[in-house]
Amino acid sequence: MTHPLQPLGLPRLRIALSSAICGLLVGCSAFQTQSTPTTTTTTTTTPELIERAQLSVQTATAPVKPGKYSFRISQFVFYSDVPLDPNDPLFQELEELPDQLIRELKLPPSTIPVQVFLFEDQERYEAYIKARDPKLPQRPAFFFAEQRGSGMADELFVFTWLGKRLRTDLRHELTHALLHGVLKSVPLWLDEGLAGFFEQPLASDGLNVGHWNAVRSASFRPNLARLEKLEKVDQMQRPEYQEAWAWVHFMLRGNPKARVALLDYLQALRTSPNAGTLQSRLEPHFPDTATALLEHLPRIEPAARIRPSR
């Protein structure tokens, strides 16, 4: 059963937009429709009237996000244009995600609502994302944190579509949202590494088999210092996602000293947007951090054999 909700007041990308209107209008001309010719009459116009008319056409023809149905689970508010069952096991599992992060990362609960827009199909989803920002890379889902003003919490949004990857995509993007709800900032690589860890169901214990299969290659050369210098989303390609997950798994499921370093780092990020680097926190315990990670990976191999990839 769905319950209509009042609007809550608007990048998987960690992009903070200063204006939702600006984001929606960029590239909107690609979705304009041709108008039927009309009889020409002589009128007096002003630049303001022309601009207003153009804005009206753009707004009317731009792709719109879903909103016909809505329901809330935990702090997640789901919007769709097709009826969805809030009692579906997928949504019930997502209700447990905030508690999972709280237990694992020792973070306080986030109280900021997360608006989740579920498009009916991939075509509508991609059209909306392209209209919002044509420069965004092609991704199956996006997380956006929009700044509202000084002293106000960011508004948090997730966009994806009802495809086969829905479970993984939602867990990944909602992890981003939960982290941004309690931390002053999240370094790009760590944001993606944690999302790669928690995108797996609880029973998987953070084991991302796809990433693990990649990093166990003999050619894998981890470099945390390089990862920590990445600041742009397009710098995070598949190998970077895989390595970021590997570092997080090492810290959460490897050496206890590495876990303490990560948890202390996250606490520092709660109060300061610049908490230094994790590399500097790991080095006193692991003079060669890359070797420490490489020694950790074979130890999770038996678990990978018995847990199916999700």
Residues 133-152 pLDDT 10s: 998 888 999 999 998 777 67
Neighbour count for residue 139 (Cβ, 10 Å)? 17
CATH topology agreement for domains 1-31+47-182 and 185-310 = no
Per-domain boundaries in the chain: 1-31+47-182, 185-310
Give one word for 14, left, alpha or beta, with left for phi > 0 and alpha for psi -120 to 50. Answer: left
SS3 114: strand
The pTM of the full predicted model, rounded to 2 decimals, is: 0.78
Distance separating alpha carbons of residues 309 and 214, to the nearest angstrom: 13
For 78-103, what is the mean pLDDT? 96
Domain 185-310 belongs to what architecture?
Answer: Orthogonal Bundle (1.10)
d(CA 309, CA 307): 7
CA distance 267 to 59: 43
> What is the CATH number assigned to the segment(s) 1-31+47-182?
3.40.30
**What's the mean pLDDT when you consider all of the chain?**
81
- Quick: pLDDT tens for 215-245: 998 899 999 999 999 998 889 999 999 999 9
